[in-house]
Every structure is written in C-alpha cells, then in structure tokens.
Chains A and B, each alone.
Chain A
Amino acid sequence: MNTTEFSAWLLLGSLLAGFLGALTGLGGGVVIVPLLTLAFGVDIRYAIGAALVSVIATSSGAAAAYVKEGYSNIRVGMFLEVATTVGALAGAGLALYLRVSVIAIIFGLVLLYSAYATVRPSSHVIENSAPDPVAVWLKMDGSYPTANGFESYHVRGVALGFVLMFVAGVLSGLLGIGSGAVKVLAMDTAMKLPFKASTTTSNFMIGVTAAASAGVYLCRGYLDPGLAMPVLLGVLAGSLTGARVLAVVQVRILRIVFTMVIVVLAIEMIYNAFTGRL
C-alpha cells in the first residue's frame, strides 16, 4: 500500500467515525482512537494525537452554531473550563508515566461508560426550587430556547460539577477525547442544567479542554501530520454530515445499533490491552 492509498483508507474510516460520533452524540474523537489502533495498527499515542485535533475541529464547528442560537450557558462553560484545563494538563502529564496498555484499558472503560450514557433514559426533571447562592454569586442562572420561547433555569451543585469537570479534563488529556459524556453528567445531573443546555455547553467547552493538552502533545511529538491530515478532514466532514442527518430524521434504532458497535470496540480494546497486543 502506498501513502496515498493509506491516506484514502484513513479518510474513509474517519468519515465513518465522525458520522457515527455525531449520530450517537459521542463525538468523533472517541471513535477514532479504537479505529486507528484496532483497524490500522497505529500506536495509541499517535492515535490520541490525531483524535485530539479532530475533537477541536468538530466541537468548534458545532459550538459556533449553538452559541449563536443561545443554547450554551457561556458563564457555566467559562467557569468550569478552569477545572477542565487544569485537569487536561494534569492528564497529559500523567500520560507520560502510564503504560500504553493501562491507557488503553482506561480508554475502553470510558468508552463503555459513554455508550451507556447515550442510551440511558434522561430522567431529569426541572425542579422549581430556590436559587443556589453560589450559582447566583457566579451569575450562572440562564435561559435557553424551547418550543415555548426562552425558558429560564437555576443552576445548582457548582462544587460537585467543578470536581467532575476536573475528572473530565484529566480523561481528555490522558485519552485525547472530548469527555463529552462526563461533562454532560456534571452539568445535567450534578448542576441541573436542562439537557440541551448541558450538551451544547459541553460542546462549547470541549475545544478548550482539548486545546490545553493538544499543545503538550504537539511538543511531545504525538501529532503526526501524515496521520492527522486524513483523520481531521474525515472526522470533520463525517460529523457535519451526521449533524445534518440528525436534524431531519429520527435515528433511534440506528443510534442503538451504533452504540452496540462502540461497546464491541471498547471490549476489544480492553481485551487487546490485557493480551498485550496494543
């Protein structure tokens, strides 16, 4: 196989990964790492580098639209970025000291959790309780567009959300993913933001979290241009297409099927790590 053919296959695979990532709501990065390591036999460090840059591209592209429409809670996002950025730098530092197989196992586990989080029934009820003094002090309470116009909501549990965001940052820096599932957990479950506000604010934050560790990875030589080029372009095109499809058709069944694909990938990664093939 020559370089052009190899790049074409990578582009095709990344296109699919981006499409899958957008449809399942997991993001392209989380699918790219197993794809590169399992199907293309790429070292996980190169895979993490390529995933990180595609995560920045897709999240920034999508965030541009959400911010304009008023879904994202900018204050919540900016404040929690303090935690994710510190976490991301810590995670990128930690990656130096962990064995590749350990990183692969953690990756598999996070992938499993993320898959679970996308199919878990959203049982979030908006409670009309009194405002949280910390959130009020930080002017976090916001509003977002719904079918009945802009609806306002109170933000709670800032401390717990902050801690969870630090964890999301560590995972992002360690694994080269956006950690969208943990971010949504922090905002939706701990801080009681409406689901749509949580997912869009998570997306808004992902670019910054990924940029924090991407700089470290660039300097460490994990970002390979020959690999990043087809991966980045493929994931970007795939996720844009996925988002379009998501806007016009109901993809419930497709989503469950793809989530099962991801579960299989996660188990295969963990298995390969234990048998020393990664």
Chain B
Amino acid sequence: MGSSTLTHRMPGPDQRMDELMGLLLRTGVILAAVIVVMGGVIYLTRHPVPVTNYRVFQGEPLELRSVPGIFHEALALRGRGLIQLGLLILIATPIARVALSFFMFLYKRDWIYVVATLFVLALLLYGLLSGCT
C-alpha cells in the first residue's frame, strides 16, 4: 500500500484523544517493563540458587497476591514485590484506558457509551480488587 497517498484526518478532539490514548498505553507498558527489569535484577542477584519447582502448583504467598501487599513488598525493594508491582501497573494500563474513554464519551455527551465504559470500568475494578477472598 502506498502510504504517501493517504489523506490525513482533520485534527480535532477525536484525534487528540486518540493520541492521548496511545501515549497512555505506551507509557504504561514502558513503565511496567522498567519496573519488572529492576525487580528482576534484584530477584536474580538475591534469589537462592535452586530453581523454584513450577511443575507443582502451589500459588503465590498472600503478600504477592493483593494490591496493598504488593506495594508493601515493592517499597521494601524486594525483587519479587517489584516485579509484581510492574505486573500490577501493566494490568492497570488498559483499565486507565477505559477510564480515559469514559471521560471522553462524557465530554461528548455520548450517553450510550458513557454507560458502556462505566460498566466495563466497574467490572475491571471488581476483578482486580475483590477477586481475592
């Protein structure tokens, strides 16, 4: 396809919102990756030599499962806690994107989509915050 013949869309609120959305997604992924690398370095330099046995499912310790627990472990600069914080940021990135879309549709008074995005946002937060019992 010859991209040189592309006509460009009119710059408007929609395109600016698309760019903001792209920026948000990219920032979230980069931030998460950087934190995971930092945590990975600490984890590999401090972790005891034998490899964890992943053949048998045991589940993670409680402090690596909940949002407050992960923050606590990450602030203590523990490798596994930092990696988990990176994963949490990664999970939060699409959630933040839905929140941004919600405000976008609210600004446009596009009520069907305001309701749809709010519903999705509620489900995502429910999955993240009350999934552990």
Contacts and interface: CB of A to CB of B under 8 A. Distances in A.
A229 B83 contact: yes
B13 interface: no
> How extensive is the interface on chain B, given as a class?
35 or more
Given A4-B44, A219-B65, A85 B79 contact: no
B33 A68 contact: no
Given A3-B47, A147-B1, A220-B132, A67 B21 contact: yes
A53 B54 contact: no
- Chain B interface, >50% SS class: helix
Contact of A207 (B64, B88, B97, B132): B97
A233 B36 contact: yes
B22 A68 contact: yes
A121 interface: no
Given A211-B95, A216-B127, A225-B64, A68 B19 contact: yes
Interface size class of A (residues with CB under 8 A): 35 or more
Contact of A220 (B23, B59, B79): B59
A221 B59 contact: yes
A89 B101 contact: no
Nearest to B17: A74
Nearest to B122: A85
B127 A212 contact: yes
What is the interface of chain A mostly: helix, strand, loop, or mixed?
A: helix
Interface in B25-74: 25-26, 28-29, 32-33, 36-37, 39-40, 43-44, 47-52, 54-61, 64-66
A182 interface: no
Nearest to B119: A82
Given A65-B22, A75-B113, A214 B91 contact: yes
* B55, B83, B94: most-surrounded residue (chain A CB, <10 A): B94
A223 B87 contact: yes
A67 B21 CA distance: 8
Contacts of B117: 78
A259 B63 CA distance: 40
Given A42-B55, A216-B131, A233 B37 contact: yes
Nearest to B23: A64
Contact of B39 (A70, A222, A229): A229
Contacts of A88: 127
A31 to B, nearest CB: 18
A213 interface: yes
30 contacts: A1-B51, A3-B44, A3-B51, A7-B40, A41-B54, A41-B55, A46-B57, A56-B90, A56-B94, A57-B29, A57-B32, A60-B29, A60-B94, A63-B25, A64-B26, A82-B119, A85-B120, A89-B123, A207-B25, A208-B97, A208-B98, A219-B65, A220-B132, A221-B65, A223-B64, A225-B84, A226-B80, A228-B87, A233-B36, A233-B40
Interface of A: 1-4, 6-7, 40-43, 45-46, 53, 56-57, 60-61, 63-65, 67-68, 70, 74-75, 78-79, 81-82, 85-86, 88-89, 92, 138-139, 145-150, 207-208, 210-216, 218-230, 232-233, 236
